[in-house]
Each structure stands twice: as structure tokens, then as C-alpha cells.
Amino acid sequence: MFKIRLLVTALALVSSISVASAWETLPTEAPAPADNATTAAKVELGQMLYHDPRLSSTGTVSCSSCHNTMLGGEDNRPNSMGVNGQTGGRSAPTVWNSAFNTVQFWDGRAASLEAQAAGPVTNPIEMGMKSWDDVVARLQSIEGYKHYFEQAFGKDAISKDNATKAIAAYERTLITPNSPYDRYVSGDKSALSAQQVRGMEKVAELGCTSCHSGPAFNGPGAFQRFPVIADGYWEAQYHFKKDKGLAEVSKNPADEHLFKVPTLRNIALTAPYFHNGSVGTLDKAVMLMGKLQLGKDLTKEETADIVAFLNGLTGEFPKQKMPVLPGTPGSSFN
């Protein structure tokens, strides 16, 4: 299911990565699938749809409500808020650099950005539309969208498939390269402080890069178990194991507590942390990862060095001009 077994197996075979091979800079362009080449027209349309709250049942929630492109790509809430003030059980993952994820959502249930874009719109807690047929009907009722869909996909092109392709095309432009880390790896040895370099070396020494490797620091595979080490004291405080992760989707007990490995890019901006948003600070998250994933009691100095390094993963955010959405002159959207 979802090619999950192969991905988990591949992840399990990964051992600690050497310093020489671990450090990769972030690409400035994301690969696109063969059936959805990135074009300017798709990106323009996708940006509109991404920011349009009329894709929700109440007209109050858009993709950007939970994945804010004016900051860290999420909403800095423990649990995201959808229509009618409802909240889900998970913290919104960042949209920045999501094009480099192997799978999407914390439980990996979507294999692509296109598949991910389709889900929240009809989720009763998130955007609350009853069906994609209703979404398409609403888009068709907004006269101005016809032009943008035609420019991107041709005539009579308003459909679920094309809407999600456009949103995914826009999301593939949300890349944050040229962080201090990237500049350091590219040869500018002044880009990181001495403390950040110590943190970088400690990350490799501890084996953090076994999972958080590659240019996006999100690993070669899709999933990792969290927590690895059972600890009743921390579980009583943070309830990490209440969420079964991938098993919530697959219904396979062997998949319990498997989660998508999140990117460490821009992590300094995306508090609170972990799938349930239960940890409010980055230093506490680092300490807990040491205990629960690696069985290590990090010193305050080691934790501070790692946090300093993680701050060096904040990249340059592309300048964006917020879209002017097609209006419905003289009437409401419904």
C-alpha cells in the first residue's frame, strides 16, 4: 500500500552518513512530474487557488491559512484550525521545500503534491467542502477563473485534476535556497559561526543525518518511527504515541508510529514541533530527539550548538506578490 513497505525498508537500510557525503546544498528548482510540467500560467493560477478561501465551505479557510507563505510555511499552532473553528490532531507541516518530500502529510498518505492538494479541500475539519464536484461548480461560477484555467490548461479546463495540478505547480516554486549552511557548504567558511560549525559536526557525529539527510534534510526514505525509545515520563507530558501515524491510514499494526521524516530547513521558524505540535521550543525538541531517537542525554552546550546550526538552515524566501483573486461583482461567491 502506497509503496510503503519498499520505502520503509529502504529507510531501515540507511546507516549513519559520513560528513563528506551528508552535506548537500538545496536545489533552486524542484523536479516536476511528466504530466505536470511547471509553467508560468500554472503557477499563477495555482497561487490564486492556494490563497482563495472560497475553496472552503465557509469561505474563510484557504491553503495559506494553515501553510502561511508569509512566514515559515505553516501556522505556528499546535493543531491547525479549519472551518467553523475546528482543530485537527496534527500540526501543519511547512509548505516550503515540500517539493522535495518523498511523500506528503505526516502519515505519508499522499505520494505527490498533486494528491496532497486534493485532500484538505474536502476534509470536514479542514476546508469542509462536501465534494470536489461542489468545488468545481464553485470555480465555474467565478467568471474570472475561466481565463486563468484556459491559459494554463486550455478551454473548458476547470476540473479537480487541473486545480490540484496548478496548486502543486505553485508549491514547487516555494524553495528557500542560499541559507548560511548552503553558503558554507559552497565554500564560504564565514557563513556559519564557530558554534554553528560545532553543531553541524555534532549532528553528523550523533547520526542525526541517518534520517535527516540530503539537500532538504528529510532523508532518503519516507518514514521513521517516532519515538524509537519508549519513555513513560516524556510520553505522559507530550502524548507522542497517541497518534498511530501511518497505521491510522494503513490499519497495519506494524506501521504504528511511523511518520514522514520532516525537513529541517527553516525549522527555526516552524515552532511548535513534532506531529502533534506539543513541544514549544527548538532546544526542547532537540533534547527530546536525542533522548527518544538516539538514546543520548545531550548536554546544554551540545543542545545549544545544534540549535545554532539549525538556525543556519533558514534560507532565502522568494519574493512573492500576493494575487488579486477573480471577483464575483454584485453577488457573493455562493
Residue 260: what are its φ and ψ, rounded to 5°? -60, 135
Active site residue 235: no
Q: Which secondary structure element, helix H or strand E, spans residue 145, and what is its range?
A: helix 143-153
Q: Give CA separation, 273 vs 33, 188, 228, 283, 333, in Å.
A: 30, 30, 17, 10, 36
| Catalytic site residue from 126, 150, 201, 316 | 126
Q: Give CA separation, 159 vs 44, 51, 74, in Å.
A: 16, 18, 27
Which residue, 175, 169, 174, 173, is CA-closest to 45?
Answer: 169
Neighbouring-strand partners of residue 279: 273
Which residue, 6, 114, 117, 142, is CA-closest to 66?
Answer: 117
Q: Residue 155, class by beta-carbon neighbours within 10 Å (0-12 exposed, 13-18 middle, 19+ buried)?
A: exposed
Distance CA 272, CA 270 (A): 6
Which residue, 267, 261, 260, 262, is CA-closest to 309?
Answer: 267
Distance CA 160, CA 269 (A): 32
Residue 258: what are its φ and ψ, rounded to 5°? -90, 130
Active site residues: 126
